[in-house]
Amino acid sequence: MSDKKESKDVQTIRTYRNFGVIAHIDAGKTTFSERILFITGKSHKVGEVHEGAATMDYMEEERKRGITITSAATTCYWREHRMSLIDTPGHVDFTAEVERSLRVLDGAVGVFCAVAGVQPQSETVWRQANRYKVPRIAFVNKMDRTGADFYKAIESMRTRLHANPVPLVMPIGKEKGFKGVVDLINMKACTWDEDDNAREMEVGDIPADLLDEAKKRREQMVEAVAECHDDVLEKFVEGEEVTIAEIMMAVRKGTLDLKITPVFCGSAFKDKGVQNVLDAIVDFLPSPLDVPPIEGFNPENDDKVIRPLLPDQPFAGLVFKTISDPNGDLTFMRIYTGVMNQGEKYYNARTRRFERIGRLMRMHAIQREPIDTAGAGDIVAVVGIKEAITGDTMSTKDHPVIYEAMAFPETVISMAIEPKSGGDRDKLSAIIGKLVREDPTFKARTDEQTGQMVISGMGELHLEVKCNIIQNDHKIGVIVGRPKVAYKMTLKGPKQVEARHIKQSGGSGQFAVARVKFNPDPTIEGDFEFIDAIKGGSVPREYIPAVEAGIESAIKGGGRIGFPYVKITAELYDGQSHDVDSSAMAFEAAGVLAFRLAAEGNSQLLEPIMKIEIEAPEEKTGDVIGDLSSRRGIVEEMVAKPGGISAVTGKVPLAEMFQYSTTLRSLTQGRGTYTMEPASYEPVPPNIAEKVLAEVVKP
C-alpha cells in the first residue's frame, strides 16, 4: 500500500467515533440516543420511549416495558465524522449487554438525572467503563424537572463515582425556567426556544446578570483542564492568557488520559443540549487511533500480539454479540485491524475452523445497510457465521490471534421450564439453545433428578423476559416453576482425608490411594485450586491430573445436594499406587471419594447477597426499613434526596426478595422504586439452611 493511500486511510479512521450511551434505568439514555439520530438526520421522526416507538428499542418486550433490554447499534454522521452509537440497557439484570458493548467501544457518554444524580446502576456501568479504560463525557439530563440541580449532580459524581467531573457549560435558568447553557470554552450563550421547535439552538452573548458567574466558572474550568497538559499548565501558572484552541487540546488530552470527565447538561426530551454533546463527542472522545493497540496472543505459540489499529495490518476482529434471526443469525463484530470482505473466509482460533462471511452490514437498530467491505475501526454485523460466540476472535489463518474475552457475572436465580405440549419439547430446547448463545448470562441445564430443564439468569425480570420471548416471538406455550436461588456450598473448616479406591474382582483390579488436605479459602481466584505436594513419587506423575479431575468434578457436581462447592483448595500430599492395578480412572475415582469424605458433616450453605438501593417518600421510609429488616436485610446508609425522597442502601439475601416490587408498591402507594445487583455469597443462618436442604433432599 502506498504512503499516500495509507495516510488517506488514517485520516478517514481519525473521523470515526465509536461510543456507547450508558446510565441507570430511566436516566434518559434511549431518549438521548433518539435525539442524536434526529439531529444528525438519521431519523426523520423522533421515536418516544413512553409511546413505545423508540427506534433503538426495537424488541416487542422493550416497547411494552419502556426499557432497553438489548444494546442496539446504529451509525450516523456529525460534522463529517462517522459515529457508531450503541444504546445500552440500564437495568442491572441486563448488565452483560453493557459489559460487552464497553469492551469494543472507544468512548462513552454517561447520562445522569439532574434530580437523582448518580444512581446505583450508574455506579455499576461506571466501574465497567473504568475496567476497560473507556474515556467518557457526561450529560446531566432532565434539567427542566422540579428539583434539578446541576452542581449537586456533579458533586455526586465526585463522591459516588470517584470521578473528576469538569463542567464545560453553566446552566441558564433552572427547573421549568431552564432555557440554555453558557459554553464556558467559547464564552457564548446557547439558548433554545420554549416552543416545540427547541432543536434550533441560538448562539449569542452571555446575559449580563450571568457574566460574572460565568467568568468565575470558566477560571475554575481552565485551572482543572490545564493540569492535563504541561504546556497549558505552564501558561496558566505564569498568568498568560490560555487560548480556546489550547483549552480544547487540554480537555481532549485529559479525557483520553482518563484524568477528567467533561460535563454538559440539558433536557434530551425537549431537545436541549444534545448538539453540545455531539460537538464534544467529535472534539474530545477518541477515534480508534487514539486508543492503545489491543493486546492479544498467538494461539499457535502463545506469543504476545500487538498490532497498530490500521487497515494495512492482518485482519482481526472481536465478536461481541450474536442475535438469532429467522433470516440468518446476526454476529456483531468490532474490527480492530485489517479489512473484512464479504464472501471471504476467516479463521476462528477457538474452534480452529473457518467461517464464511455471507453478508456484511452496517446496522441502524433493526434496519440493515449492506456493505461489501469493512476495515479497522468499524463495528459491523455479519450473516453466515455458524459457530462463533461472544468473545471469539476472527482472524486470518496465517496471522491467528486471540483477544481477551469478556468476563460476565454468574447467574443468581433459576427456575424450571417445560412446554405445555409434549410435542414442543425439541423445539423449546432449540430455542433455549439460541437464547443461551445470544446471552452469556442466560444458562440452561437438565436437572438430573427430575429430568426438567432449568434456566438461570441475573434476576426475575431477566428470566421473565426470556420466557415472554419464547412464548410471544416463538409461539411456544411454556409452564414455569417458581424462581429458585442459586445457592452454593463451601467447607466449614479444613479436613484431611485418605481416600482408598480398591476393587478386586478377578483379572486386573483397581487400586488408588490419595491423601488430601482440603481447606476453605475465600481469597483464591476461581472456585477451586489444586496443589500438587507429592514428594518421592508416592503417586506417579501421570496419575496426579486424574486426582485433580476427580476432585474438581465432585466439587462442581455438589454431591447429593447438587449445589456446587466454591472457594476450596485441595492439597494432594501423599498416596499409594500399584504397579498393575493402578490407572488414571482409579485415581480419578479416588479424587471423587476424597472430596466426598471431606464434605461429609463439614459443609456450609452459601446464598447470594444483593446490594439494594430503595428510593421512597420520606414518610414511608420507616415502613420500608422495617420490611427490609424482616427480610434479613441490613441497612447501611440513608440519604435525603430532593423532592421529599429518601434513598436507603443496604444488603439483603436474594431468597427474601422474590415479588418485592409488589410489596414496595403497596408500602409506598406506588411511589417507591428499587434496584438490586449481586454483591457476594455469604453463609446461610443454620435454621434457614436446614429448611433449604430439607427441601432439596426430599426422599
| Residues whose CB falls within 8 Å of the CB of residue 23, separated by 6 or more in sequence, listed in order | 29, 90, 110, 111, 112, 121, 122, 125
Q: Based on the number of CB atoms within 10 Å of its own CB, is 560 exposed (0-12), middle (13-18) or buried (19 or more)?
A: exposed
Supply the pLDDT for residue 277.
93
Nearest residue to 321 (alpha-carbon basis) of 88, 126, 134: 88
pLDDT at 59: 45
The pLDDT, as a whole number, for residue 595 is 93
In sequence order, what are the residues at sequence separation of 6 or more whose Cβ sits closer than 8 angstroms to the Cβ of residue 201? 190, 191, 192, 275
**What is the predicted pLDDT for the residue at 100?**
75
Radius of gyration of the chain (CA): 29
CB neighbours of 85 closer than 8 A, spacing ≥ 6? 19, 20, 21, 33, 36, 37, 73, 74, 75, 76
- Do the strands 81-87 and 453-457 form a parallel or antiparallel pair, or are they unpaired? unpaired
For residue 471, the 8-state DSSP code is I
CA distances from 392 to 318, 328, 334, 350 (A): 6, 19, 11, 7
pLDDT of residue 634: 93
pLDDT of 278 reads 92
**What is the model's pLDDT at position 361?**
86
pLDDT at position 597, please?
92
Question: What b/e sequence results for 495-522 when a residue is b if at least 16 CB atoms lie within 10 Å of its CB, and e otherwise?
Answer: bebebebeeeeeeeebbbbbbbbbbbee
Residue ranges, the chain, pLDDT below 50: 1-6, 43-69, 196, 699
pLDDT, position 496 = 94
What are 415's strand-pairing partners?
455
The pLDDT value recorded for residue 89 is 66
CA angle 491, 496, 501 (to 5 degrees): 105
Q: Sort residue 79 into left (φ over 0), alpha (ψ -120 to 50) or beta.
A: left
* 377, burial (CB in 10 Å: exposed 0-12, middle 13-18, buried 19+): buried
So what's the pLDDT on residue 598? 92
Query: What kind and span of H or E run contains 102?
Result: helix 95-104
Q: How far is CA 122 from CA 128, 134, 241, 244, 658, in A?
A: 10, 15, 37, 32, 24
pLDDT of residue 448: 64
Distances (CA, A) of 157 to 111, 120, 161, 559, 645: 11, 12, 5, 47, 19
- Asked if residue 281 lies in contact with residue 83, where contact means CB atoms within 8 angstroms, the answer is yes
Contacts of 243 (CB under 8 A, 6+ apart): none
The 10 Å CB-count burial string (b at 16+, else e) for 58-95 is ebebbbebbbbbbbbbbbbebeebbbbbbbbbbbbbbb
Residues 654, 588: contact at Cβ < 8 Å? no
Q: What is the reported pLDDT for 47?
A: 42
How far, rounded to the nearest angstrom, does the alpha carbon of residue 418 sit from its chain's CA centroid? Answer: 29
